[in-house]
Structure formats: C-alpha cells, structure tokens
Structure 1
Amino acid sequence: MNIGITDNRFGDLDIHLQSGGITLIQLFISSCLLSNLNAFGSSLCSQRLPFLEQALAKVNTSDPDVISTIISRFSDIPKLKAESPYHKMKIIDRCFSRRTIEEIISSLENEALNKKDDWISSTIQSLKKASPTSLKISLRSIREGRLQGVGSCLVREYRMVCHVLRGEFSKDFFEGCRALLIDKDKNPKWEPSRLELIRDDDVDRYFSKIDDEDWEDLKLPPRSNLPPYAIAKL
C-alpha cells in the first residue's frame, strides 16, 4: 500500500480535486483520495510509517521545510503519467488560488479563451455541474484546514458532514444521490441553483456545532503515547 504525501509544493491543486465533483459524495471522496494520489506527491510505503512517525516525534518544530525534509527521507518520487494534473500546476496555481469559487471559474474561463485545453474545459464543466452549496463549503473547509491541526480538521469535517446528512440547510446531498444512484438521470436539481444565491452566513452554518443532543460533537481520543510537543503538532 502506498500513501501519497502532499505539501505546499502543489499549490491549490487540492481545491481542484475537492471542488470538481457533481455531488457532495464525490467532493468528500476526493478529499479521501487526495491522501492516496501518488501522482501529486511523494510515494510512502505503509511499512515506513512507524519510522516516519518516530522521526517526526523527535523534532521539536513545526517548520514546514524541516517536516518536508524528514518526510522525503522515507519517501520515493513516483513516475508521473503524461495526463497527470501535476503537469498543469501553473494553471492550477493561477486559477485555484483565487478567493472564491466564482473567481476560480472565471479564471479558468479566461485560460480557456487563450488556450485550447481539454483539461481546462472538462474542469470548467465539472465545476458548473456541481452543487453550488457543496463547492462553497468545500472551498471554505480546505482553506480553513490549511491553518489547523489534524484534530481540528476532523472535527470540522465531521460537523460539515453531519449538517449535510441532516439536510436542514440544503437537500443537495439527497438530490445528488437520486440523480446518480436512484433515477440515474444524471440531472440533479440543486437548490440554491446558483453560486451567487449562497451567502457567507449560509456557508457558516455548516461548520457550527449541531444544537441537538442526539448529534454529539466529535471527540477524539488523546494521543498519550506521544510527547506533548508532538501532540501539539497534530
């Protein structure tokens, strides 16, 4: 088993991966796939993971350069396929570093005007087919996650998924399931139907703690086997 290691060398590629699906199912699956896409980072054999964890636990720093150097000692650079999006990194960084989904799509459309590229065209098409709500909350989650530890990220993702499954703010998850899995017409009717109809406070609600005693917040077990400075980095 190989696990892909991604870092800041790959700019805003993660936003593209998580925002390119047609439903929230695909968006969340993309988040999981990101950790196993060898084409976008270093390939790390699972047998080396215990040694990597030990090496990381020994350093009392969160400096990205130091961490990246340690990871590289236990990893190999995979052979990239010709169609790998890694070869599109300049375009990805230009477009997916934009502040909003609307600006990302607009930037891609400008790229398409200047250059005929099947990847750009298919990416624009995928984004425009996706649930506007799912695009907004996925982008927010990715941006916030860059500044948080693993524990905070898991809590944030858990709350987001719970709100999606409850369907109290949007039924797009169920509509996506209907269009892809039940009726299979591949013609979902999103609500709201356009990005501009979704306000910032609509997105905020997906990251709030659920006010319902039947829906407990995620509580992670303590990592007592690690020294305090290592736990602080998680």
Structure 2
Amino acid sequence: MGISCSRRNHSLRADEREKNKHMEEKQSDTEEDSGGGHGVKHIEKIPGEIPATPINGEKMYKDSEDVFYKFVILHSTTDINEALRVKNLLQGQFHIRPGIIFAEMPAGRHILKNLEDAINSSAWTILLLTENFLNETWCEFQFHATLINSVNMQHKYNSVIPVRPETHFLPRKKTPMMLQLINALEERSPAFRQQVEKTFKESQFQKQRTIWKAEREGVELIAQD
C-alpha cells in the first residue's frame, strides 16, 4: 500500500515538473516574439567590427595635448576636406609638422575653449580664405579673435597667416580690409614655395614653443627680442 502511494506521488511530481517546463518554454517563446523581458535574443558582436571615428579626431588630440603644433588651420565648416588637403600639403611637401585643423579639435567641449586651445597651442594660425569663409559668422569671429590675440600677445605678432588655396579662393576685393593688410600666401602664385619657407621659420617656432612650455609650467617668462 505504501509503495503504491509512493509511486503515485512520484508520478504526479514528474507530471508537474513536465508541465512547468512546458509553461516556461512557452513564456520564453512569447517574450522573444514580443521583444520584451529577458527573452530578447542576444545580438552577437560582429568579429572585427570597429566603431566609427569622428572627423574631430578627439582621441588623437587627447593623446597629444602636450604637443605644440606648428600651425592650426581655421576654416569654414564646409571646407574640412580643403583644410585637410592644405594641412597635408604643408606637412608632406614642406615638412612643416605637426599641424592640425580646427575640425580635429575635441567634440563635446565649448567651441570657444577649442578656439583658445587651437591658437595658444600652435605657432601659426592659418585662415583658409575660400569662397565659403565669409558665409559663416563663426569664421568672421575667428579671424577677429586671432588678430586681437596677435596684437595683445607680443610673441604672437605676425602669427596669423591668411592662405588662398589653389581653387575656390576668396578674391582679394571681397576680403575684409583687416585681412587685406596682411600678406596672404597664394597657392597659385609661382612664389608660393618661397613664401612658405620665408613664413614658417624654425627659430620663431622654437621661441613660441619655449613660451608655451613655460606658461604650462606656471613660470612667468619675459619675452626677449
């Protein structure tokens, strides 16, 4: 009698476990179909998949915050490719490096902070004078800020360099008067190479770099002529 009851109880427990298992499987299928709960299918990461890198080159800039650049190119937001071309030209053909364009400054920071760092962390500020340059209020602010900085900071004197690229350049007659007072580098000019070599002097770069390092270290350096 006891053995018969034991077998019957064991059979009931087995049936109950099978029923519960079936209900759990059905619930799991329902959750997967609806996309909710913990039943959402796990999406495996594609092997070798690399996240997209933004044009601003934030990681590159962070890794080189201790670098004093020879030049920074300020440009219209629609002239990023042209700015990169001019940067590569100066670095590759004329060996003026390192350089950076404004679009490579870190994203997520205030744009005025980026402009300040770009000017202070480079020996020369290049204004890329294209047809798009005067279409943006931001570009107008950039050249005003750089000119004022070059006047107020003795070691930044003659550090603002307007450049007219080979194509789609801003005509002289449309150039703001304050920029007309500065000799621009004309890529189309036969004397362009001589202009570049005369402008980007290593001695001037080293002088500015020394002052930059002293300022970062909190040392007041008296500029010597």
For the superposition of Structure 1 and Structure 2, which TM-score range results when normalised by the shorter chain? under 0.3
Q: Give the TM-score normalised by the residue count of structure 1.
A: 0.26
Which of the two has greater strand per residue?
Answer: 2
Larger of the two Rg values belongs to structure: 2
